[in-house]
Amino acid sequence: MSRVAQRKSIRSFRESSDLKAAGLCVLDIGLFTLTLVAAILIPNIFVKVIASLAVGLQIARLFVLGHDACHQSLFEHRQLNRWVGRLLFMPSLTPYSLWEVGHNLGHHVYTNLRGMDYVWTPLSKAEFDALPHWRQLAERFYRSGFGYGAYYLVELWWRKLFFASRSEIPTQRPEFMADSLLALGFGAAWIGLLVGAAIWTQQNPVTLVITGFVVPFLVWNWIMGAVIFFHHTHPLLAWYNDIDQWEAARDTGCNTVHVLFRGKLGRVLNNIMEHPAHHLDVRIPLYKLEAANRILHEPSQVTQPFSLRLIRDCVGQCKLYDYEAHHWTDFAGRQTSPSLAPLPLPRAVLAAP
């Protein structure tokens, strides 16, 4: 089935509901506040740490709502999406306008095309070998199964989102700076609140800042890094450096993995792993993605239940990518996946000078 036909098959799921969106926002903002208050007020350090981890999860859930708002699929009204989206992005310290440019106009338009999509883009063996030793170690750690959080924190949030430099985002707009300052101000207020609460409750301010801010923020980064890794990394998922080959392949798929969870566990992260339908039509709200994915029947789509095998396969086999032979390799350049040969190019493309 062509990409156009796939999109038509799920178009009926586009309609947003302001009532449902408002309910989800109230629920997740409430849970974020509740878990943060628990992390502040509960004296037992072990319970405090559990609450801290829960705050990190709630940051992720709020971000997914903001992600929908940024795609104009959470609420019906554009301006409501823009302003509520900014609010929902604050706990993750994400500048709304910078995310919108990089994610909506870069990642979604050019998914899995090297040089245009910057999310977990695999290096070739030659590129990896040309890196300085410290950068090779960083790349090994990022793809070790433990470095998801470090990857998102350093390579995406710090470099491309939080006060992104002109070298990362050549076209600068006033709203980029304004949204970065908004995120900075929210983070400063959050830390200030924790210090004030520590003084008021006679706790150690350092301990409270660590459990109330540092740990939740690191947990959020790890969740986000892992989520986008499994969205676009799989032994059966191809990457491209030739735009003609990429366009030919894109016409019959969406270059993303559908990770299935048992029962309704996917809802823990607000259905962010229901990714193929989202990439085919970003206007489908998160609460309709499950139903939309159920009617997609595309043999070329990579679908796999979440399991230790999925983690082992993706982490163990997907280190580097051979863009000429189209297969994944390990860091030594040994082939680790089947050949993912691109589709034959249309005759007009083959004949072009």
Considering the domain boundaries, does residue 343 fall inside one? Answer: no
Number of domains in the chain: 1
Instruction: Characterize the bridge pairing of strands 320-322 and 327-329.
Output: antiparallel
pLDDT digits (tens, 9 = 90+) for 236-282: 999 999 998 888 877 766 678 888 888 888 888 999 998 888 988 99
Residue 57, Cα to own-chain centre: how many angstroms?
14
- 22 with 312: CB under 8 angstroms? no
Of 158-172, 210-224, 245-259, 275-289, the poorest mean pLDDT is in 245-259
Asked if 215 contacts 53 with a C-beta cutoff of 8 angstroms, the reply is yes
Say which range, 28-42, 54-68, 90-104, 272-286, has the weakest mean pLDDT. Answer: 272-286
Output the CA angle 322-149-217, nearest 5 degrees: 155
Residue 152: what pLDDT? 97
Print the domain residue range for 290.
3-329
Residue 58 domain-assigned (yes or no) = yes
Which amino acid belongs to residue 80?
L
In a domain, 135, yes or no: yes
Q: Does residue 340 belong to any structural domain of this protein?
A: no
pLDDT at 124: 97
Show the 3-state SS of the chain.
Answer: CCHHHHHHHCHHHCCCCHHHHHHHHHHHHHHHHHHHHHHHHCCCHHHHHHHHHHHHHHHHHHHHHHHHHHCCCCCCCHHHHHHHHHHHHHHHCCCHHHHHHHHHHHHCCCCCECCCCCCCCCCCHHHHHHCCHHHHHHHHHHCCCCCHHHHHHHHHHHHHHCCCCCCCCCCCCHHHHHHHHHHHHHHHHHHHHHHHHHHHHCCCHHHHHHHHHHHHHHHHHHHHHHHHHHHHCCCCCCCECCHHHHHHHHCCCCCCEEEECCCCHHHHHCCCCCHHHHHHCCCCCHHHHHHHHHCCCCCCCEEEECCHHHHHHHHHHCCEEECCCCEEECCCCCECCCCCCCCCCCHHHHHCC
Query: Is residue 352 in some structural domain?
Result: no
Task: Return the pLDDT at 1.
Answer: 64
**154 found inside a domain:** yes
Quote the pTM value. Answer: 0.92
* Residue 337 is assigned to a structural domain of this protein: no
pLDDT on residue 342: 63
Domain assignment of residue 350, yes or no: no
Q: How far apart are CA 73 and CA 96, in angstroms?
A: 15
